[in-house]
Amino acid sequence: MSEPSPNTDNSEPETLSKNALKKQLKNQKKEEERRRKEEEKAAAKQTLAFDDACSTPEEAAKSCPAFDKANDLSLKKFVDVLWPIKKRLNIGSEATLKKCVEITDHVVYKLIERRAQEMRQSQDSTSVTRYDILSRFLYSGETDPKNLRDSTLSFVIPRRNATSATLAWFFYMLCKQPELQEKLAQEIKNVTKVESVANITEFAENLSDEHLAKMHYLHAVLTETLRLYPAVPMDVKMCFSDDTLPDGYKVNKGDLVFYLPYAMGRMKSIWGDDAKVFRSERWLSKDSILQAGPRMCLGKECAVVISSFTFKLADERKPITYGVSINLFIKGGLHVCAQPR
In Å, how far are 18, 31, 40, 81, 258 from 36, measured between CA atoms?
A: 27, 9, 6, 50, 40
Whether the CB-CB separation of 139 and 161 falls below 8 Å is answered with no
The Cα–Cα gap between 3 and 289 comes to 70
The answer to whether residue 227 scores a pLDDT higher than 90 is yes
Q: Is 322 left (phi over 0), alpha (psi -120 to 50) or beta?
A: beta
The pLDDT of residue 302 is 82
pLDDT tens-digit readout, 13-72? 455 466 777 777 777 777 766 665 555 444 444 344 445 555 555 666 667 788 888 888
For range 251-280, the mean pLDDT: 93
Closest C-alpha to 216, from 177, 239, 255, 188: 188
328: confidence class by pLDDT, cuts 50, 70, 90: confident
The pLDDT of residue 279 is 93
- Percentage, residues of the chain above pLDDT 90: 28
**223 contacts: CB under 8 Å, gap ≥ 6:** 280, 283, 291, 292, 295
Whether the CB-CB separation of 40 and 300 falls below 8 Å is answered with no
Query: What is the torsional sign of CA 325, 303, 54, 50?
Result: negative
- Percentage, residues of the chain above pLDDT 70: 75
pLDDT tens-digit readout, 89-123? 999 999 999 999 998 888 888 888 888 887 777 65
| Average pLDDT of the chain, as a whole number | 78
Least confident of 23-37, 124-138, 161-175, 233-247: 124-138
Closest C-alpha to 186, from 177, 196, 176: 196
In Å, how far are 72, 217, 227 from 231, measured between CA atoms?
A: 14, 20, 9
For range 212-228, the mean pLDDT: 91
The Cα–Cα gap between 117 and 230 comes to 39
- Better-predicted residue by pLDDT, 64 or 272: 272
Answering whether pTM is above 0.85, one says no
The Cα–Cα gap between 204 and 219 comes to 17
**142 contacts: CB under 8 Å, gap ≥ 6:** 148, 151
The pLDDT of residue 294 is 40
322: confidence class by pLDDT, cuts 50, 70, 90: confident
Single-letter amino acid code for the residue at 54? C
Whether the CB-CB separation of 334 and 316 falls below 8 Å is answered with no
124: confidence class by pLDDT, cuts 50, 70, 90: low
Query: 3-state DSSP: the chain helix, strand, coil percent, rounded to 5?
Result: 60, 10, 30
DSSP string, 24-87: HHHHHHHHHHHHHHHHHHHHHHH---TGGG-SSHHHHHHHHHHHHHHHHHHHHTTT-TTHHHHH
12: confidence class by pLDDT, cuts 50, 70, 90: very low
The pLDDT of residue 169 is 93
The pLDDT of residue 286 is 53
The Cα–Cα gap between 132 and 46 comes to 6
| Helix 92-121 with 57-76: angle, nearest 10 deg | 130
The pLDDT of residue 284 is 86
- Better-predicted residue by pLDDT, 298 or 224: 224
